[in-house]
């Protein structure tokens, strides 16, 4: 496919082209899961040859990792207002931890694209990138983990920084596990709907994540009290 517009020459033009690629990928993720987003279709929709998309991002996975980093930052910014609205600073610590867990679970549930990207991160997205892209993404991930830990500690100061970071890491791992199980294939969904005995295995994402986060926070606080 030939480009529909000329090759970008300036840094400003390159930034515009990168933004167009990212915006197109975001639109695709609104229509399909991560697994179905292909570089060929992304190139077609953005109006560039695949080889020219690769001038700006080294792979499909590099595009998606950048979107994951951006979406993670947006989640943190959302929690800047969602956590204070949900948590009463004067409440007992057990109530505050439950409110933090609920606010985080609901915030993630409202962001299915972010959850899909998180669940694909280690198994898929980090498998076809260079060490440079991987290092950039990991640095951003560390910054996001500490930023989120800081926001949690504002409402649960009983946690030290180390345990707050452990909590944010645990929340990521729980999301990675809970999201695919709560979004089964069409065949598995049909089984659940047709067989009540097997339907007990069906997972509700928000409930599962909230309960897991509550248990994790309670465990970390119990360890800290010792």
**Is the same domain home to 39 and 142?**
no
| CATH number of the domain where residue 27 is located | 1.10.10
Joined tokens for residue 97: 């931890």
**Is the same domain home to 91 and 173?**
yes
| CATH number of the domain where residue 107 is located | 1.10.357.10
**Is the same domain home to 68 and 165?**
yes
- Please write the tens of the pLDDT for every residue from 26-61: 999 999 999 999 999 999 999 999 999 999 999 999
Quote the domain boundaries for residue 14: 1-57
Does the structure show a pLDDT above 50 at 4? Answer: no
**Is the same domain home to 67 and 53?**
no
Does the structure show a pLDDT above 60 at 67? Answer: yes
**Is the same domain home to 47 and 106?**
no
Count of domains observed in the chain: 2
**Is the same domain home to 122 and 169?**
yes
Does the structure show a pLDDT above 60 at 8? Answer: no
Dihedral sign for Cα 10, 12, 15, 20, please: negative
**Is the same domain home to 152 and 66?**
yes
**Is the same domain home to 28 and 67?**
no
Does the structure show a pLDDT above 70 at 1? Answer: no
**Is the same domain home to 48 and 81?**
no
Question: From residue 52, how far is each of 47, 65, 167 by CA, in Å?
Answer: 10, 19, 41
**DSSP conformation class of 6:** P
Of the candidates 79, 125, 77, 131, which has an alpha carbon nearest to the alpha carbon of residue 103? 79
Quote the CA–CA distance of 113 and 93 in Å, as a whole number: 32
**Is the same domain home to 203 and 147?**
yes
**Is the same domain home to 24 and 132?**
no
């Amino acid at each position: 496919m030939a480009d529909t517009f000329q090759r970008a020459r300036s840094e400003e033009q390159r930034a515009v082209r990168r933004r167009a690629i990212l915006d197109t990928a975001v639109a695709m993720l609104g229509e399909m899961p991560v697994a179905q987003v292909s570089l060929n279709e992304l190139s077609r929709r953005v109006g560039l040859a695949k080889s020219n998309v690769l001038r700006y991002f080294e792979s499909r996975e590099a595009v998606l990792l950048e979107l994951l980093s951006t979406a993670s930052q947006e989640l943190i910014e959302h929690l800047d207002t969602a956590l204070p609205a949900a948590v009463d600073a004067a409440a007992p610590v057990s109530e505050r931890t439950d409110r933090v867990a609920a606010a985080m679970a609901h915030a993630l549930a409202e962001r299915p694209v972010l959850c899909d990207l998180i669940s694909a991160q280690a198994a898929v997205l980090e498998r076809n990138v260079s060490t440079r892209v991987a290092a950039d993404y990991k640095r951003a991930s560390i910054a996001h983990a500490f930023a989120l830990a800081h926001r949690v500690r504002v409402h649960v100061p009983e946690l030290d920084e180390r345990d707050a970071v452990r909590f944010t890491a645990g929340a990521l791992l729980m999301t990675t596990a809970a999201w695919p199980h709560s979004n089964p294939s069409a065949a598995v969904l049909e089984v659940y709907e047709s067989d009540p005995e097997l339907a007990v295995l069906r997972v509700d994402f928000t409930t599962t994540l909230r309960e897991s986060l509550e248990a994790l926070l309670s465990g970390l606080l119990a360890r800290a009290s010792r």
